[in-house]
Amino acid sequence: MLGLAALCALVAGHFSRLTAAEKWPEERKLGPFLCHADFSLDGQKKLLGEIESLQQDIAAILGTQEPRENIHLFLFEKPATYEAYLKRYFPRVPARRALYIKGRGPGMVFAHQGTDFEIDVRHESTHALLHASFETVPLWLDEGIAEYFEVPRGKRASENPHLATIRALLRQGASPRLEALEGISDLKDMGRDEYRDAWAWVHFMIHGPRDAHADLITYLKDCQDGGEPEKLSARLRRRVPDLERRMAEHFKP
């Protein structure tokens, strides 16, 4: 996810050219997403169906409301075309395999076909949906939720690649510290371990104790209303005694 304040004017200035002046071979509406592709989407029916239903999935699990605006999804067949497009319109954006960009206008997701294409599209589209619904979402939670929804619906609970590594970590007696994640404010500080830990806490709150799930929904509602809600760590420790032990029990095979 990339949401740089310095790009706001750039995004606003180029948005009309991104959506109106360019002619796309494929354009489809997928729920809140307006999809633009430079290749035939006939072979992507499964992925398109997942993206179309993603908003309903997130709303059902997290209690979110309808997005406040549409989201533009730009799909490219070749990496070189994707890179040239971003370099043309967003020359200051760091090179990444897929991107979510939000300025003053609607959110935009960019991805190209290749390794992990479907994962990238689901991940960045989740970011876009969250930021179309909430005033603000803490970085770690934003990434943890995107990691959770980046796999297909039937695999979210028990087949995410993070599951094996978090179980191994917990068997060693270590436990991901929620407070450490809450202290991260720069995406550069989100490494592989931080993404794994953020996913683990989101999984725990969705599939673990009911009180934890309730705290997550209440916290997100507070985010939706704006302001600075009480941190999730404080809420969870108050509602779920012995939090680290409950986390370890949750992930036992």
Q: Facing residues of 71 across strands?
A: 33
Residue type, 155: K
Of the listed ranges 10-14, 76-80, 144-148, 166-170, the least confidently predicted one is 10-14
> What pLDDT, on the 0 to 100 scale, is given for residue 67?
86
pLDDT surpassing 80 at residue 1: no
Of the listed ranges 177-186, 206-215, 225-234, the least confidently predicted one is 225-234
Residue type, 241: P
Measured in degrees and rounded to the nearest 5, phi and psi for residue 138 equal: -55, 145
Tell me the pLDDT tens digit for each residue of 5-15: 334 444 444 55
pLDDT surpassing 70 at residue 168: yes
* Mean of pLDDT over the chain: 90
> What pLDDT, on the 0 to 100 scale, is given for residue 10?
45
Cβ partners under 8 Å of residue 201, min gap 6: 144, 176, 178, 181, 247
Q: What pTM, to 2 d.p., does this model score?
A: 0.91
pLDDT surpassing 80 at residue 169: yes
Percentages helix, strand, coil for the chain, rounded to the nearest 5? 55, 10, 30
Nearest to 147 by CA among 198, 208, 112: 198
Tokens 């005033």: give the residue: 135
pLDDT surpassing 70 at residue 19: no
> What pLDDT, on the 0 to 100 scale, is given for residue 11?
47
Q: Facing residues of 34 across strands?
A: 29, 72
Beta strand 26-30 with 33-37 is antiparallel
* Confidence class for position 194, pLDDT limits 50, 70, 90: very high
pLDDT surpassing 90 at residue 228: no
Tell me the pLDDT tens digit for each residue of 36-59: 999 999 999 999 999 999 999 999
The distance from CA 94 to its chain's CA centroid, rounded to whole angstroms, is 18
CATH architecture of 5-133: 3-Layer(aba) Sandwich (3.40)
Q: What whole-number distance in Å separates Cα of residue 108 and Cα of residue 93?
A: 13
Measured in degrees and rounded to the nearest 5, phi and psi for residue 72 equal: -95, 130
Average pLDDT value for residue range 214-240: 91
Query: Which letter does DSSP use for residue 95 in this model?
Result: P
Tell me the pLDDT tens digit for each residue of 68-124: 889 999 999 999 999 999 999 999 988 899 999 987 788 999 999 999 999 999 999
If residue 140 lies in a helix (H) or strand (E), which one and from where to where? helix 139-149
Q: What whole-number distance in Å separates Cα of residue 29 and Cα of residue 71?
A: 10
Torsion over CA of 223, 162, 205 and 120, rounded to 10 degrees?
Answer: 40
All CATH 3.40.30.160 domain ranges of the chain, comma separated, are 5-133
Burial of 66 (0-12, 13-18, 19+ CB in 10 A): exposed
Torsion over CA of 83, 119, 208 and 53, rounded to 10 degrees?
Answer: 100
The answer to whether residues 230 and 216 touch, using CB atoms and an 8 Å cutoff, is no
